[in-house]
Amino acid sequence: MLNHKATYTELIKSEAKRLGFLSCGISKAEFLEAEAPRLEAWLQKHMNGEMHYMENHFDKRLDPTLLVEGSKSVVSLLLNYYPSELQTEDSYKLSKYAYGNDYHHVIKHKLKSLLYFIQDEIGEVGGRAFVDSAPVLDKAWAAKSGLGWIGKHSNLLTQQVGSFYFIAELIIDLELEYDHITTDHCGTCTKCIDACPTEAITEPYVVDGSKCISYFTIELKENLPTEFKGKFDDWMFGCDVCQDVCPWNKFSKPHNEPLFNPHPEVLDMTKKDWEEITEDTFKEVFQKSAVKRTKFSGLERNIRFLKS
C-alpha cells in the first residue's frame, strides 16, 4: 500500500528546500509537556521583564491544537540570515538578523507559498503560518523536530550551520511522518555564559530576558536602566555576543536571500554617523527593516545611552 504520509512529508520537505529554507523538520501537534514547567518557572521569576505578552495564551503556547483547530502537525523551518559582510568595526552594532528587509515579511511570503503548494499538491489542508509569533514556542518545536538543540544561550543551534537563522512554523491539519529530537553538543563549553555582557545567562539554558541587551534595546519602552551603563558592548539594536562566541557558529555560511542584503549605509556608518543620524536618514536606511520597531526615538535613545 502506498504510504501517503511518507510521500507528503517528502514532498513538503523538498518544496521547503526549493523555497530557500535551510531545513525543515516535522513534529506531531501536541501538548509540549517538557516545556510547560520551564515556561512557568521562567515567567514566575519575571524573566520576561516588561514583555507581558509572553504571559498571555499560556495554554495555547504549549498546545498547538488549541491555537489551530484540528491541527495534526507542526512543520518547523529555518531560514539563514548570516551576512556575507559585517558592519565596519568603528560602529555601534546592529544584530545581524536586522541588516536586511524585515524577516517577518520575507518569511511569511515563503510560508504562504509552502502552504499553497501543499494545498495544490495534496488537497484540502487547513493551517496557519507563524513567524516569531508570541503564541508559538518556535525553538522548542524546531528542537523537537530534530533541526538542532537548544544551547546554553537558549538559541537553537546545529553542528552544521550554527545558530544564525530565523525559525518559522506552519501548523497544519495533515498527518505527516515525524522527526526525532537530536542530541545536545554544548558539552562542557560555557563560552556564551562567560561572554554575555550583562550576565543575562543566569545558568546554563536559562536566559533572564529582563537582563538581555536585545530586550533593553528593542522591547523596553522606558528609560534604559543606569546600572547597565557601560555594559552594552556598543550594541544599539539587539545583541549577538552569545552567538558570535559560540564555536558552532564558525560553520555559519552566508545566506543567499537578496532581501536580507543590507542597505549599503548600514555597513558603512561609523559611530559618529550614528550619533548624527537624522530621522530622514533613519527612514531611508530602515525603510523595510525590522529596526523600524524601535522607531527613530528608540534608536536615538539607545545611541545616547551608549555614548554617555
Q: Which is nearer to ligand SF4, 72 or 93 (CB)?
A: 93
Q: Which is nearer to ligand SF4, 80 or 154 (CB)?
A: 154
> Whole-angstrom Cα distance, residue 139 to residue 272?
37
Q: Which is nearer to ligand SF4, 126 or 247 (CB)?
A: 247
Phi, psi at 27, each rounded to 5°: -125, 155
- Smallest separation (angstroms) from ligand SF4 to the CB of 41: 18
Of positions 151, 170, 219, 290, contacts ligand SF4 by CB under 6 A: 151
Of positions 153, 167, 172, 237, contacts ligand SF4 by CB under 6 A: 153
Residue nearest to ligand SF4 (CB): 151
Give the three-state DSSP class for 127.
strand
Element (H, E) at 114: helix 103-122
What's the burial of 229, exposed, middle or buried (CB within 10 Å: 0-12/13-18/19+)? exposed
User: How many helices (H) and strands (E) are present in the chain, helices listed first?
Assistant: 13, 10
Of positions 61, 93, 110, 152, contacts ligand SF4 by CB under 6 A: 152
For residue 48, which amino acid is it?
N
Segment near ligand SF4 (CB under 6 A), from 52-60, 173-181, 218-226, 242-250? Answer: 242-250
| Strand 235-237 versus strand 127-131 pairing type | unpaired
The answer to whether residues 97 and 235 touch, using CB atoms and an 8 Å cutoff, is: no
Give the three-state DSSP class for 155.
coil
Segment near ligand SF4 (CB under 6 A), from 97-105, 114-122, 129-137, 241-249? Answer: 241-249
> Whole-angstrom Cα distance, residue 165 to residue 302?
25
Q: Which is nearer to ligand SF4, 171 or 242 (CB)?
A: 242
131 binds ligand SF4 (CB under 6 A): no
Binding mask 181-220 for ligand SF4 (x = CB under 6 A): -----x--xxxx---xxx-xx-----x----xxx------
- Smallest separation (angstroms) from ligand SF4 to the CB of 186: 3
> Whole-angstrom Cα distance, residue 246 to residue 195?
10
Residues classed as catalytic:
132
- Smallest separation (angstroms) from ligand SF4 to the CB of 139: 12
- Smallest separation (angstroms) from ligand SF4 to the CB of 279: 27
Phi, psi at 166, each rounded to 5°: -85, 155
Of positions 39, 94, 242, 306, contacts ligand SF4 by CB under 6 A: 242
| Strand 93-94 versus strand 235-237 pairing type | parallel
Within 36-178, strands assigned E span 73-80, 93-94, 127-131, 149-150, 156-157, 165-172
239 binds ligand SF4 (CB under 6 A): yes
> Whole-angstrom Cα distance, residue 255 to residue 170?
22
The answer to whether residues 204 and 193 touch, using CB atoms and an 8 Å cutoff, is: yes
Q: Which is nearer to ligand SF4, 151 or 298 (CB)?
A: 151
Of positions 29, 246, 303, 306, contacts ligand SF4 by CB under 6 A: 246
Of positions 22, 54, 241, 303, contacts ligand SF4 by CB under 6 A: 241
- Smallest separation (angstroms) from ligand SF4 to the CB of 242: 3
Closest to 172 (Cα-Cα) out of 1, 5, 2, 3 = 5
Q: Which is nearer to ligand SF4, 66 or 195 (CB)?
A: 195
- Give contact residues for ligand SF4 (rule: CB under 6 A): 151-153, 157, 186, 189-192, 196-198, 200-201, 207, 212-214, 239, 241-242, 245-248
